[in-house]
Chain A
Amino acid sequence: MRRSLLGRVWPGATAVVLFIGFAFPVYWMFATAFKANKDIVADTPVWFPTSPTFEHFETAVNADGFWTFVGNSFAVTLIAVGLSLVIALLASFAVARMRFKGRKSFILVMMTAQMAPWEVMVIAYYMIVRDAEMLNSLVPLTAIYTVMVLPFTVLTLRGYVAAVPKELEESAMVDGCTRAQAFVRVIFPLLAPGLMATSLFGFITVWNEFPMVLILNKDAAAQTLPVWLTGFRTTFGDDWGATMAASSLFAVPILILFVILQRKAVGGLTSGAVKG
C-alpha cells in the first residue's frame, strides 16, 4: 500500500519540481524586470514583484542606440529569413518533385552545410568581409545569415513539398494550369504551415546570432541586439533590473512566436533534426 502510494506520488512531485526548475529562470527574468530596485537588491529575495514598475523597461528602451539595435535585428532577421525561404522554396521544389542528375549531391551538400561550424569560421569571414571593405555593414551580415539558415530550410521544406499529394498538382495541370501556376495555386497554400514552422527556426537562429556580428560589426550603428545584450555590463553596470528588462524585451518576440507556432514548430524541428 505504502509503496503504491509512493509510486503514484513521485512522478507528479518530480514533474512539479522539474517544472519549477525549467520555468524559474524565465520567471525570474520577468520578475526582476518588474521589481523595484530595493526589492532586487534585498537581503532576502523578493519572490514576487509586489509593486510592479516599468522603470527598468524605460531605462532599457532609453539606453543609447537601443532602437538602432532593434531596427538592425529586425532588418537582418526578416530579410535573411525571407530570402532563404524564397531560395529554399525553389530548390526544395526541384529536389522533392523532379529527378535530375546531381540531385543527390545537392542534398548531400545541403546536409553537410547544415552542420557547418559557423562559430569556428568567423576569422575567415572577417577577412573576406574586410577585403571587400564591407565591415560595419548589415549587408554581408544578412547574406551570411541567409546562407546560415538555408540548408535547414531547404531540407525541411523538401519534406513539406513531398507531403503535398502529387495528384493535386497533376489534376491542376490537367485543368490547364502550367506547372508554375499549379505550384502557386495548389502547392503553395498547402505549404503555409511548413513555411511558418521553418521560418520560426530561421528567426530564432538569426535573432540569436552572436559571434558573427561581434566580429564583423564593431561600429554600434551596425550592431544587433545580442551584442548589446551580452555587453550589458557596459551599458547598465550592475543594474540588474534594466538588464533583465532588456533581456525580456529581447526574449519576448521569440517566446510569442514559439507559443503561436509551437505545435507545428516542434513537429518541424523534430523532423528536421532527426532527418539530419
Chain B
Amino acid sequence: MSAQLKEAAAEPAPRISKGGAPPPRRSQERAAKSVPYLLILPAAAVTLLLLGWTLVKNGMLSFQNLNPRQLIQHVTEWNGVENYQEALGSADFWRVTGRSVVFTGANVVLIMTLGCLIGLLLARLGTKLRLLLLLGLVLAWAMPVVAATTVFQWLFDQRFGVVNHVLDALGWHAMADFNWTSGQFSTFFVITVLIVWQSIPFVAINLYAATTTIPKELYEAASLDGAGPWKQFTSVTFPFLKPFFLATTFLEVIWVFKAFTQVFAISEGGPDRLTETLPVYAFVEGMGNQHFGMGAAISILTIVILLALTAYYLRLVLKQEEDEL
C-alpha cells in the first residue's frame, strides 16, 4: 500500500516541479508521507484537547481544595491527597461503591439472561411473530433515554400510574397507592426495569443476528448425537458465540456502571441519597454540594473502579486489535 502511495505521489512530480531549490522528487515524497498525518490531525487534536486534557484537568482538580470560596476568588489551593483520604475513609463512599457494583451486576445479569433468551426465541419463531417481536424490541431500543425516563415515571406514578392499577386489579391491593420512589429498593426496581427494558433489544437482536451465522450442520450433528436444547446451547451456540457474549457483557457493564441519566432523572438519587450510584454521587458531591475537588477525586476513583471491573475485557480487545492491525 505504501508503494502505491509513493507511485501516486511520484507520478505527477515532474509536472509540478518548477525548478524550486529542494529536489522535487524528495519533497513530493515527503509531502506524500505527511498526508496520513494531516488526515488524522483534526481527529487526534480535538480528542487530545477535549478529552485528554479534561482527564488531566480532572486529575489536577482532585488534588485541590476547591469549594465555592476558592472558585469565586479564582485561587488554586493544593491539598495533596486529602480528597482521596477523605473519600476512601468515608463510609458513604464505600456504601455507594458497593451499591454501584451490586446495581451493575444485577442489571447486567438480567440484561444478558433475558436478552439471550429472547434472542434464542427470535431464532425459533415464524416470520410473522418474529417481525412482531422485533418491532417491539426496536421500539424500546429507539426510544430516547430521556423520554423513556419520563414515561416510566408516568407508568409508575403513585395515583394514576398504570402499574399500580394493574397490580391492584390483580389482587395486590397494597400497591394501589404505592409510592415507588419512597424507598430504596422500589426506586432501584423502577430504574432497573427501565435500564433492562432499554438494553435487552441490543443483546437480543445482536444475538439473533449472530445465531443466523452458525452453520445449521452443527445443530443437526448435535441433535443426531441426541443433544437436547440445553445441551445444544452449551455445546454449539455458546462456544460459537463466546466472543459475542464476552464483548456484550462487558459493554453492558460499562454502560450500566456509568449510567447517569436514568438514575438521576428518576429520583435524583433519592430518597435520602439512597439510590446514588458512583456517577450520581460524584455529581451531587461535586456540583450539588460544591465540593468540586472532592467530586473530582470521586470521579477519578469511579474511573479507576470502572477500569478494574473491565480490565480483563479491555486488555483482550486492545490485544486483539493490536494483532489485527
A contacts, CB < 8 Å to B: 11-12, 14-16, 18-23, 25-26, 28-29, 32, 40-42, 44-45, 87-88, 90-91, 93-95, 97-100, 102-104, 106-111, 113, 115-117, 119-128, 143-144, 146-147, 150-151, 154, 170, 173, 178-179, 204, 207-208, 210-211, 215, 225-226, 229-230, 232, 240, 243-244, 246-248, 250-251, 254-255, 258-259, 262, 266, 269-270, 273-274, 276
Contact = CB atoms under 8 A, between A and B. Distances in A.
A147 B47 contact: yes
B273 interface: no
A81 to B, nearest CB: 14
A270 B206 contact: yes
Chain B interface size, as a band, is 35 or more
Q: Which of B139, B162, B261 has the most CB of A within 10 A?
A: B139
Contacts of B314: 115
Interface in B19-58: 33, 35-37, 39-40, 42-44, 46-47, 50-51, 53-55, 57-58
Contact of A210 (B51, B55, B260): B260
26 contacts: A21-B136, A25-B140, A25-B148, A26-B140, A29-B151, A29-B154, A88-B43, A98-B36, A100-B36, A116-B55, A117-B303, A119-B261, A120-B299, A123-B58, A123-B295, A144-B50, A150-B43, A170-B4, A208-B146, A210-B264, A230-B146, A240-B154, A240-B160, A244-B151, A247-B150, A262-B138
Interface string B134-166: 011111111111111111101101011010010
B54 A146 contact: no
B146 A110 contact: no
Contacts of A115: 254, 310, 314
Contacts of B244: 274
Contacts of A19: 132-133, 135-136
B212 to A, nearest CB: 12
B102 interface: no
B121 A14 contact: yes
A124 B296 contact: yes
Given A113-B51, A127-B57, A119 B279 contact: yes
Contacts of A248: 147
A254 B144 CA distance: 7
A98 B40 CA distance: 11
A123 B292 contact: yes
Contacts, number: 277
B50 A210 contact: no
Interface string B257-274: 011110011000000000
B325 A107 contact: yes
Q: Which 6 A-B pairs have the closest CB atoms?
A: A22-B136, A94-B39, A258-B142, A124-B58, A91-B43, A119-B260
Contacts of A232: 150
A208 B142 CA distance: 11
Nearest to A124: B58
B209 interface: yes
B205 interface: yes
B129 to A, nearest CB: 5
A190 B261 CA distance: 37
B170 interface: no
A25 B152 CA distance: 7
A216 to B, nearest CB: 11
Contacts of A45: 162, 165
Contact of B146 (A102, A126, A210): A210
B91 interface: no
B186 to A, nearest CB: 18
A61 to B, nearest CB: 16
Given A26-B143, A90-B39, 16 more contacts: A11-B125, A12-B125, A22-B139, A29-B147, A29-B151, A90-B40, A94-B35, A98-B1, A103-B36, A108-B322, A117-B306, A128-B54, A208-B146, A248-B147, A273-B247, A276-B317
B162 A87 contact: no
B124 interface: yes
Nearest to B133: A15
Contacts of A100: 33, 36-37
B155 A25 contact: yes
A276 B247 contact: yes
